[in-house]
């Protein structure tokens, strides 16, 4: 049952504004850079994040985590911890209240608390509730756990070796039937055409092995929340998450409560980027609250946060491409191995994305693709901005540069020659049925003037080290510094794919309060910083012609909004708000016709709009005031909305219309590299991205620039380092897991295209992830350009640039 919004015409000229269906004159509607409704609270410190919750008599929860990656738990002794003054509860696996003891997004393989075995470093083993965090920590330190360590598997070779320990014995999930080994979570091949035959036509063939390091979302607001036991035996939970209803579905069975007795409210979310798609402290806090009968707050510190959420899958990728002398790509073969770590999380969907987007935004008819995710004893990996497409983009863009070099062609022209466009058939057999301006995006970033060289000398004689590689550390005054320029472009799907029933729900109420028409929008959408709340208000203004819009807090008292991920919320929950508003509008007009229809023929004959608090004809004639139409009546509707259905990929051939929409961005990176010390300064990262329709241009820029810098981070500094011998995390802190500072970030000029997608609300395109894809390979390409090195691994470390 798919309902679509008002379609706009396809093929609108580049850069031209998308025609929107109606109501564009209402102030604060879509297309304007209205300001965030939560902005004032956020700048005054009043905005209540999940770690800010406080309740009288509340206790502090603390999680005891495994100090080893893989071990049998022989015994747990909690007696001394329980006897500690100030301690109210100590819980282990044996205290779980029901038969449901695992959870998981797709596969319920993750123990709420370890049962007899730990499978990764930092796995939760026991919980403590106490009157002060320090009391809880000291008590947790008194819990005695007898571990018998087991051998670890950490990569494909060790995970699939004969006799390798199985991470999950007795798997019964729906992927086990099509994988070659129980330590493989999922496998997705895509075969189209005949890659071997096409390779025979190639004049040049290039191949490479690529490595993508483990990236962390590093959202700043740590995992945290407050669980308050209720008199009815249920629990009220205030947390930061990306999807309230998905959490609820996993939490309630473990607690042994019906879903309506677990009432969730979204607290302020300090960033997410995929890292809050899985549960962290939710069940733990509820268990402690229900056990003690007191409110329980849990707040991770940064150290624990590195163990408290999944990371981006590290990947090993092998690619082969061929091309004819005139620059046409003949074929592509690739094999992508993603390390999913100890639990499945979103690994199957990441595999689907990695395989189906492995070709990149290029026309390649003959392909042979395989992507798998492993179970290992490494930290669990799952969703992060870009979701499988990021790793592939890093590799295929390196390949494009290699091919261009082998053909002695300009790397941008080579890409443009092979760029996909609207109508292109993808390796999955899906035809791209909305604008795909890949060549144009590349043209735009290339056409930009380059920043002047040796900018550090601009101020005068002495070098301003802040503009140089090494920055304040004063490592060069220009010595060894070489400039490089690199390009990349990527393709990301928008929305949940592969046949998932991806819908959202919005409740919209229109009524007159104190003589003013007011719209109230209630969804369960997790506002994680992206600005969904701003956009929902804009949509309500545009559709209902009112200026006053109240956005209700997100909670589970309204239907699911789906996840704030996959660049989908503006599309899907925005679409749901629009859909609900349209239906509210129809109801309002019905009321108007009933009351005033006899006074003016236009009520029956004209297309009617709501604008400026009035019912008007599309010719602009005012028929009635909303205040008079509604009087004391409220129109209140809660409706679901779905985008077009998708299909699963065939497990053997990978064929299927798996994705809803595609999103494209291109980057040009300009870097300066201290070639002697191997230090990199990114001077500029220019972006061009097609956003379909910018509902809020200021927010669009914020998403594009923010995503770009997360891509820069994993190009030159960000990596969780896991010891291959022990599978233990070596750098779980902001001292050694580095994310870019304001001195590491360049200027980020952005070129926004608005080519409407006729299938999407207002023609919009999901935007959050695409800029994270091409940023990394563009920086790498620029560093290669400066140094002449091959650099098949990201992040690049000084050792790689100096051969040390």
Residue 69: exposure state from Cβ atoms within 10 A (0-12, 13-18, ≥19): buried
Q: Which is nearer to other proteins, 2 or 41 (CB)?
A: 41
Minimum CB separation from other proteins for residue 738, in Å?
5
Minimum CB separation from other proteins for residue 679, in Å?
7
Q: 3-state class of 656 per DSSP?
A: coil
Q: Which is nearer to other proteins, 205 or 698 (CB)?
A: 698
Tokens of 20: 């929107």
Q: Which is nearer to other proteins, 199 or 780 (CB)?
A: 780
Residue where the block lists tokens 């997100």: 554
Q: Are 365 and 402 spatial neighbours (Cβ–Cβ below 8 Å)?
A: no
**C-alpha span between 711 and 699 (Å, rounded):** 18
Q: Which is nearer to other proteins, 58 or 764 (CB)?
A: 58
**C-alpha span between 296 and 317 (Å, rounded):** 44
Minimum CB separation from other proteins for residue 470, in Å?
7
Other CB atoms within a 10 A radius of the CB of residue 246 amount to: 18
Q: Which is nearer to other proteins, 306 or 387 (CB)?
A: 306
Tokens of 661: 């929409």
Q: 3-state class of 299 per DSSP?
A: strand
Q: Which is nearer to other proteins, 368 or 684 (CB)?
A: 684
Q: 3-state class of 354 per DSSP?
A: helix
What is the secondary structure of 593-653 as a DSSP string? HHHHGGG-THHHHS-EEEETTEEEETT--EEEEHHHHHTT--EEEEEEEE-----PPPTTT
Q: Which is nearer to other proteins, 117 or 477 (CB)?
A: 477
Q: Which is nearer to other proteins, 184 or 561 (CB)?
A: 561
CA distances 542 to 29, 507, 521, Å, are: 5, 16, 13
Q: Which is nearer to other proteins, 263 or 385 (CB)?
A: 385
Q: Which is nearer to other proteins, 108 or 705 (CB)?
A: 705
Minimum CB separation from other proteins for residue 391, in Å?
20
Q: Are 731 and 311 spatial neighbours (Cβ–Cβ below 8 Å)?
A: no
**C-alpha span between 589 and 636 (Å, rounded):** 14
Q: Are 798 and 679 spatial neighbours (Cβ–Cβ below 8 Å)?
A: yes
Minimum CB separation from other proteins for residue 716, in Å?
7
C-alpha dihedral, 616 to 619 to 620 to 623, nearest 10°: -30
Handedness of CA 25, 26, 29, 35 (dihedral sign): positive
Q: Which is nearer to other proteins, 77 or 134 (CB)?
A: 134
Minimum CB separation from other proteins for residue 772, in Å?
11
Considering all CA atoms of the chain, what is the largest pairwise distance in Å, rounded to the nearest integer?
86
Q: Which is nearer to other proteins, 392 or 533 (CB)?
A: 533
Q: Which is nearer to other proteins, 399 or 772 (CB)?
A: 772
Minimum CB separation from other proteins for residue 83, in Å?
19
**C-alpha span between 149 and 116 (Å, rounded):** 12
Q: Which is nearer to other proteins, 475 or 548 (CB)?
A: 475
- 795 prior amide bond cis, ω within 30: yes
Tokens of 597: 């229809």
Minimum CB separation from other proteins for residue 768, in Å?
11
Q: Which of 84, 105, 101 is nearest to 92 (CA)?
A: 101
Query: Containing H/E element for 396?
Result: helix 389-407
**C-alpha span between 719 and 728 (Å, rounded):** 14
Q: Which is nearer to other proteins, 347 or 774 (CB)?
A: 774
Q: Which is nearer to other proteins, 52 or 109 (CB)?
A: 52
Q: Are 432 and 376 spatial neighbours (Cβ–Cβ below 8 Å)?
A: no
Chain centroid offset of residue 228 CA: 29
Minimum CB separation from other proteins for residue 375, in Å?
25
Q: Which is nearer to other proteins, 172 or 799 (CB)?
A: 799
Q: Which is nearer to other proteins, 283 or 463 (CB)?
A: 463
**C-alpha span between 765 and 10 (Å, rounded):** 13
Minimum CB separation from other proteins for residue 222, in Å?
7
SS3 content of the chain, % helix, strand, coil (to 5): 30, 25, 45
For the chain, the residue count is 804
Minimum CB separation from other proteins for residue 9, in Å?
30
Tokens of 448: 């930009």
Minimum CB separation from other proteins for residue 24, in Å?
22
Minimum CB separation from other proteins for residue 794, in Å?
13
Q: Are 270 and 219 spatial neighbours (Cβ–Cβ below 8 Å)?
A: yes
Q: 3-state class of 666 per DSSP?
A: strand
Q: Is 720 left (phi over 0), alpha (psi -120 to 50) or beta?
A: beta
The alpha-helical segments, DSSP class H, found in 381-465 are 389-407, 411-418, 438-447
Minimum CB separation from other proteins for residue 708, in Å?
6
CA distances 540 to 630, 636, 641, 756, Å, are: 17, 13, 15, 20
**C-alpha span between 727 and 152 (Å, rounded):** 7
User: How far apart are the two ends of the chain, measured CA to CA in Å?
Assistant: 60
Minimum CB separation from other proteins for residue 159, in Å?
24
Q: Are 61 and 281 spatial neighbours (Cβ–Cβ below 8 Å)?
A: yes
């Amino acid at each position: 049952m798919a309902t679509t919004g008002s379609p706009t015409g396809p093929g609108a000229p580049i850069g031209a504004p998308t025609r929107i269906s109606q109501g564009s004159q209402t102030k604060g509607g879509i297309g304007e850079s209205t300001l965030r409704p939560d902005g004032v609270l956020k700048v005054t410190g009043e905005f209540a994040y999940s770690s800010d919750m406080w309740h009288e008599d509340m206790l502090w929860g603390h999680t005891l985590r495994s100090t080893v990656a893989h071990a049998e738990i022989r015994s747990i002794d909690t007696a001394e911890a329980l006897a500690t003054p100030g301690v109210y509860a100590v819980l282990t696996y044996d205290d779980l209240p029901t038969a449901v003891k695992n959870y998981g997004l797709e596969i319920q393989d993750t123990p709420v608390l370890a049962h007899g075995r730990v499978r990764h470093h930092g796995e939760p083993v026991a919980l403590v509730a106490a009157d002060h965090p320090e009391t809880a920590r000291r008590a947790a330190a008194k819990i005695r756990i007898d571990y018998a360590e087991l051998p670890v598997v950490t990569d494909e070779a060790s995970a699939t070796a004969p006799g390798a320990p199985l991470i999950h014995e007795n798997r019964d999930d729906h992927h086990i039937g099509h994988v070659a080994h129980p330590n493989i979570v999922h496998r997705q091949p895509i075969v189209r055409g005949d890659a071997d035959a096409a390779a025979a036509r190639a004049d040049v063939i290039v191949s490479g092995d690529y490595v993508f390091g483990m990236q962390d979302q590093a959202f700043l607001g740590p995992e945290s929340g407050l669980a308050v036991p209720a008199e009815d035996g249920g629990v009220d939970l205030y947390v930061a998450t990306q999807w309230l209803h998905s959490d609820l579905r996993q939490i309630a069975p473990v607690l042994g409560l019906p879903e309506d007795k677990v009432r969730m409210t979204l607290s302020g979310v300090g960033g997410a980027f995929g890292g809050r798609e899985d549960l962290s402290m939710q069940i733990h806090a509820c268990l402690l609250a229900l056990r003690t009968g007191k409110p329980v707050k849990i707040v991770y510190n940064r150290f624990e946060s590195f163990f408290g959420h999944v990371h981006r899958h590290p990947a090993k990728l092998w690619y082969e491409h061929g091309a004819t002398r005139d620059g046409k790509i003949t074929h592509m073969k690739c094999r992508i191995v993603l390390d999913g770590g100890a639990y499945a999380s979103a690994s199957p969907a990441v595999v689907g994305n990695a395989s189906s987007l492995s070709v990149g935004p290029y026309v390649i008819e003959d392909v042979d693709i395989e992507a798998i995710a492993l179970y290992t004893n490494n930290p669990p990996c799952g969703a992060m901005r870009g979701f499988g497409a990021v790793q592939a983009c890093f590799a295929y863009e390196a390949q494009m540069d290699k091919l261009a070099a082998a053909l002695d062609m300009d790397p941008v022209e080579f890409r443009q020659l092979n760029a996909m466009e609207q109508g292109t058939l993808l390796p999955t057999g899906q035809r791209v049925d909305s604008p795909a301006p890949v060549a144009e995006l590349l043209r735009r970033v290339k056409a930009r003037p380059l920043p002047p060289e040796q900018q550090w000398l601009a101020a005068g004689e002495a070098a301003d080290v802040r503009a140089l590689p090494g920055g304040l550390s004063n490592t060069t005054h220009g010595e060894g510094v070489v400039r490089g320029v690199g390009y990349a472009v990527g393709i990301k799907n928008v929305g949940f794919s592969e046949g998932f029933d991806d819908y959202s729900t919005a409740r919209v109420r229109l009524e007159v309060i104190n003589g003013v028409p007011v719209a109230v929008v209630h969804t369960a959408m997790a506002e994680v910083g992206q600005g969904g709340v701003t956009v929902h208000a804009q949509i309500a203004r545009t559709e209902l012609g009112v200026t006053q819009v109240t956005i209700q807090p997100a909670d589970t008292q309204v239907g699911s909004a789906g996840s704030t991920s996959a660049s989908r919320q503006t599309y899907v929950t925005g679409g749901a708000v629009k859909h609900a508003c349209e239906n509210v509008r129809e109801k309002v007009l019905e009321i108007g016709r009933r009351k005033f229809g006899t006074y003016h023929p236009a009520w029956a004959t004209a297309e009617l709009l709501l604008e400026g608090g009035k019912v008007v004809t599309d010719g602009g004639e005012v028929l009635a005031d909303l205040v008079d139409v509604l009087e004391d009546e409220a129109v209140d509707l809660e409706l679901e909305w779905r985008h077009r259905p998708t299909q699963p990929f065939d497990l053997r051939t990978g064929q299927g219309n798996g994705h809803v929409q595609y999103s494209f961005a291109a980057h040009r990176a300009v870097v300066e590299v201290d070639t002697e010390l191997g230090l990199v300064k990114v001077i500029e990262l220019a972006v061009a991205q097609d956003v379909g329709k910018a509902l809020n241009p200021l927010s669009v820029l914020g998403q594009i620039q923010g995503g770009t810098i997360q891509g820069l981070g994993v190009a030159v500094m960000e990596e969780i380092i896991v010891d291959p011998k022990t599978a233990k995390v070596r750098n779980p802190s902001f001292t050694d897991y580095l994310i870019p500072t304001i001195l590491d970030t360049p200027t980020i000029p952005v070129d926004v295209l608005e080519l409407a997608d006729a299938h999407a609300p207002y023609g919009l395109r999901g935007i959050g992830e695409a800029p994270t894809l091409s940023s990394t390979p563009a920086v790498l390409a620029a560093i290669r350009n400066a140094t002449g090195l091959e650099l098949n691994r990201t992040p690049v470390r000084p050792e790689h640039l100096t051969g040390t």
